[in-house]
Amino acid sequence: MFCLKIPVTCLSLIIATFTTYSVVISQVEASPIPTQQQTATNWLLEGQSKIKQQDYSGALSDFTQAIAIDPQNAEAYYHRGLVYLQYTQERYFHPDGSIAGCERVDGLRISCPVELIDKVAEYRDLGIADFSQAILLNPRYAAAYHQRGLIEEETEKKLVDFQVAKELYQQQSLELLKTDKFAETLTIWETIDELDNKTQSLSRLQVLQASQDLKNPINSSTVSPELCEQLEQQGRMALRNGDVNKALQRYKRLVSKCQDAKYQRIRKVIEALEKNRN
pLDDT digits (tens, 9 = 90+) for 72-96: 999 999 999 999 988 887 554 444 4
CATH of domain 1-153: 1.25.40.10
pLDDT digits (tens, 9 = 90+) for 216-253: 454 555 567 788 888 888 889 988 998 999 988 988 88
For helices 142-151 and 6-18, what crossing angle results, to 10°? 160
Q: 174: pLDDT confidence band, cut at 50, 70 and 90?
A: very high
Contact present, 217 and 204 (Cβ < 8 Å): no
Identify the three-state secondary structure at position 27: coil
Identify the burial level of 64 via C-beta atoms within 10 angstroms of its C-beta, where 0-12 means exposed, 13-18 middle and 19 or more buried.
middle
Q: What one-character DSSP code corresponds to residue 28?
A: -
What average pLDDT does the structure give for the chain? 77
pLDDT of residue 222: 58
Write the CB contacts of 145 (distance below 8 Å, at least 6 apart in sequence).
131, 135, 161, 162, 164, 165, 168
pLDDT of residue 32: 44
pLDDT digits (tens, 9 = 90+) for 104-134: 666 556 566 555 556 778 889 999 999 999 9
pLDDT of residue 75: 96
Query: pLDDT: is 268 or 105 the higher one?
Result: 268
DSSP string, 42-107: HHHHHHHHHHHTT-HHHHHHHHHHHHHH-TT-HHHHHHHHHHHHHHTTS--B-TTS-BTT-EE-SS
Distance separating alpha carbons of residues 115 and 113, to the nearest angstrom:
5
Asked if residue 71 has pLDDT above 90, the reply is yes
Query: pLDDT: is 24 or 272 the higher one?
Result: 272
The whole-model pTM stands at 0.71
Contact present, 232 and 197 (Cβ < 8 Å): no
Domain boundaries, the chain: 1-153, 154-278
